[in-house]
Amino acid sequence: MNLRARSVLRTLLVAAVAGILTAPLASAQPVTLFSDDFGPKPLAGWTPSPLGLATNWDASSGVAAYNGGGHTQLYAGSGSWTDYRFQVKFRVDVAEDYPGGIRGRVDLATGAGYAAWIYPGQGLIKLWRSTAWHIDTSGLTLLSQVSATITPGVDHTLALVFSGDQIAVEYDGTTVIQETDSTLTAGAVALDVSNRPITFDDVAVTAGTTTLLSDDFGPKPLHNWTASPLGLATNWDASTGVAAYNG
């Protein structure tokens, strides 16, 4: 065994006995049904809708960025999800309408779902019930709308919350729409985009204390780990998507 191999083995043994890094107890964390660290395959946990245009998405910078090249979606999750909270962080480049928004309780066969869309030009958030993947398909119903200041170049949060026939839209942490509708009872989630650029980050789908889906579109190297009293934390590197120790 050469010196390098002995050094690596020694490091592993020390880590096993003394704990170079320690993680929080698993029992204190919710059950994760979907996760994605976007390294090295950004957007690997998402599926383009039948509307296509998948090449208009780019997650290489640690966010899911859409170039405004037309109406489409990326979807994730299960068609059997019922009551949950779907939140994203988003940013628009310009105060113009039709960047899109998010869609929940999505029927994966038809694309029908509840869509919360932002309208920066009009200063509105609208809650729609769509009948198909393309939002302008016949039968589209506007359930509610509310005034909102949507500032370009600034991060905002947008959430859809489902509980039975109760549907809420939250904007920047405040409930701005509350409606009753029992048409759609279950479905997946989607990033719902259109004709203006928009970026998404920090996607989270939760049900009670259970995390159904989580995605920050960029790795946070070792952010859940703490160096032991033995130190040498700078010898660790997770910039490539793995925890590498230099020996």
Sole residue written with tokens 């296509």: 52
Q: Report the pLDDT averaged over residues 52-63.
A: 90
Residue 24: its pLDDT value, please?
A: 40
pTM: 0.74
Residue 107: its pLDDT value, please?
A: 98
Q: Are 20 and 227 in contact (CB under 8 A)?
A: yes
- pLDDT band, very low/low/confident/very high, at 42 (cuts 50, 70, 90): confident
Q: Is the confidence at residue 120, as pLDDT, over 90?
A: yes
Q: Report the pLDDT averaged over residues 34-57.
A: 77
Percent of the chain at pLDDT above 70? 78
Residue 221: its pLDDT value, please?
A: 59
Residue 6: its pLDDT value, please?
A: 45
Q: Are 20 and 10 in contact (CB under 8 A)?
A: no
Q: Is the confidence at residue 218, as pLDDT, over 50?
A: yes
Q: Is the confidence at residue 153, as pLDDT, over 70?
A: yes
Dihedral angle of Cα 70, 172, 103, 129, to the nearest 10 degrees: -100
